[in-house]
Structure 1
Amino acid sequence: MKWSAKPIIHKEEKRIGVYFEKDADLIARIKKLEDARWSQSLKAWHLPDTEENRILFKIPLQSLRLPSDEGLVQIARFKQWLRSKRYSENTINTYSEALKSFLVFYRDKAICEITNEDVIIYNNEYILKNNLSSSYQNQIVNAIKLFFRTILETKIEIDKIHRPRREKKLPNVLSKEEVKAILNAHSNIKHKTILSLIYSCGLRCGELLALQPFHIDSKRNLVLIKNAKGKKDRIAPLSRKILEMLREYYKVYKPTTYLFEGQIKGQPYDARSLQLILKHALQKAGITKPVTLHWLRHSFATHLLESGTDLRYIQELLGHKSSKTTEIYTHVSTKNIQQIKSPFDDL
């Protein structure tokens, strides 16, 4: 049985992707491993990126070795600096792990002697050789640039460190009919409300999980999204239909601290359970596309654009820092494309 495995970044989490042609025996063995998951979008199984799993799947352990003593000290300093700037714990972990990988590669070299050429060598000899993604490479570059801005007497020229060329992928968008089928698939009011709120407000998963009951302003028909990506607050319009749904949900579940709580009162709903809610909705709706929860956010933005909403308002609703990020939805909007007549029709 031929198979391959490599480190990946999946949904902002470091994982090991395992690729092979369908084999019942191998699937059964992988299912027994802790936190093994199937990804429809990757068409692969993936597991936590741990030393044990790397050994199991014969992946180089380079990134799990320790940096030099000097490297460990500097990583600790870097973490302190990030915390003092109030970066999120997710960003701190991502940047420090990325920097660790780089400093492990140069564990036998003094940090003050590292040059721009060393960054290029690392990209070629570690990232490209191990077939790591451009998004992971971009995280490394972000970490290196930010780290060396805080270190004096270095031979690194910050502005000359280049990022990998950005992949120009279009967002995945569902039709309104497909969204309606997904939102109506569940009879459970909690599951139905969760999916409906994500779509109707264009929420990220983390934003939904962080919502508390007082963030729903029923008098002004608004949802307050606190401390979202980039530590920014924003507001989203609250549909009257969603408000009625929320009131029905509230009567049944009576949440205390978070709007959507798990089995333990006062604790937020589990992110993995959100994925299961969507998975079951897709099965019930008969949709076989590899839909993720983020597709609902993309669909929200595209449907607004197609209904004539100004791009600047969509940018505000999504919480995008740059208008360029929002402009990508103009490439997937079908409003004008569908009006174009193909020359084939005149043949």
Structure 2
Amino acid sequence: MRPQKSITLKHLLVEQRKCIGLQFTTNKVLQALIDTLPNVSWSQEFGMFYMPNNKSNLELIFKTFNGVAWINGNYFFTEKVINEDNPVLNLERYRNRKPKEGFKPCPEEYLLKLELKRYSDNTVRNYVACFESFINHFYDTDPINLNEMDVRKYLQKLIQEGKSNSYVNLSINSIKFFYEIVHGMPNRFYSVERPRKVKQLPEVLSKEEIVKIINNTNNIKHKCIVGLLYSSGLRRSELLNLNVTDIDSKRMVVIIKNAKGNKDRISVLSPAF
């Protein structure tokens, strides 16, 4: 049985030194064990204890709290593949671009990590575009030396230019990816406010309009596509990834694999199609 007490490991950057943050709910037993660790200090800024980030200290943490508390490394160990079912992308189209004077391309380390994480092609395209806009805004500065205030000013510029909330959020994600995933640095942007997502009612076609579209589609393949999209409520990407074996005509259902959020789901199959 997993111990009820837990300690969460975090990446911290203290005086430009990479450190292991130890975050836990106040507990006398855990505090007593923390006090036995060498070179442990308290950070008022991050509100947690920390120690130098090295292999021996990491091993010592697991050894010290073994059987006493569960070590949560979800925020610390970032090598997990995002979606193993995504194909391995070839990003040579970015690497082989002709150099442009006055333009900094996305660093190789960034591209390599995107490949290893197996992000989707659409996410890669958006991340690269947004991050290149960011680093070229600070063309004469190494991005590793930028701070939270620099990021805030850049995001303010995007808002003043009338960029959408989704674009600003995407820019934040691409910037965080560089610092936290590529360089394994701590979450430096806890207090960077994200714009609220605009919730708009979708534009929905009426049943009569859908019937007109289907009736005016002569190609049987295209008619089947429109019918499936409407009757089963499929997303475009779900339709493109659909296999014949995913359609169960006996149960009259469509099995959608790796849908949004990497989850499988089942939708109804209309008798008309």
TM-score, with length taken from structure 2: 0.56
Gap change, CA 1:66 and 1:222, over 3 Å in 2: same
Asked if the contact 2:144/2:179 (under 8 Å) is kept, the reply is no
Asked if the contact 2:179/2:185 (under 8 Å) is kept, the reply is no
1:172 aligns with 2:203: yes
Code of the residue aligned with 1:192 in structure 2: it is K
Instruction: Tell me the equivalent position of 2:258.
Output: 227
Distance 1:210 1:152 in 2: 34
1:216 aligns with 2:247: yes
Instruction: Tell me the equivalent position of 2:149.
Output: 117
Code of the residue aligned with 2:116 in structure 1: it is S
- The one-character-per-residue Cα deviations of 1:193-251 (angstroms, maximum 9, x if unpaired) are 11110011111112212222222222222222233333333222212221xxxxxxxxx
Instruction: Tell me the equivalent position of 2:112.
Output: 80
What SS class does the counterpart of residue 258 from structure 2 fall into? strand
Instruction: Tell me the equivalent position of 1:42.
Output: none
The unaligned stretches of length 5 or more in structure 2 are 1-99
The unaligned stretches of length 5 or more in structure 1 are 1-62, 243-347
Gap change, CA 1:225 and 1:173, over 3 Å in 2: same
Gap change, CA 1:140 and 1:65, over 3 Å in 2: farther
What SS class does the counterpart of residue 155 from structure 2 fall into? helix
Displacement, 1:120? Answer: 2.0
Instruction: Tell me the equivalent position of 2:123.
Output: 91
TM-score, with length taken from structure 1: 0.45
Instruction: Tell me the equivalent position of 1:139.
Output: 170
Displacement, 1:103? Answer: 1.0
Code of the residue aligned with 1:101 in structure 2: it is S
Distance 1:65 1:205 in 2: 38
What SS class does the counterpart of residue 90 from structure 1 fall into? helix
CA RMSD after TM alignment: 2.6
1:107 aligns with 2:144: no
What SS class does the counterpart of residue 224 from structure 1 fall into? strand
Displacement, 1:134? Answer: 2.4
Code of the residue aligned with 1:80 in structure 2: it is L
Would you tell me which structure has more helix in proportion to its own residues? Answer: 1
Identity across matched positions, percent: 40
What SS class does the counterpart of residue 162 from structure 1 fall into? coil
Distance 2:103 2:265 in 1: 41
Count residues with an aligned counterpart.
Answer: 173
Asked if the contact 1:98/1:143 (under 8 Å) is kept, the reply is yes
1:204 to 204, 225, 235: 235
Displacement, 1:114? Answer: 0.9
Please show how residues 252-291 of structure 1 align to structure 2 within 5 Å.
none
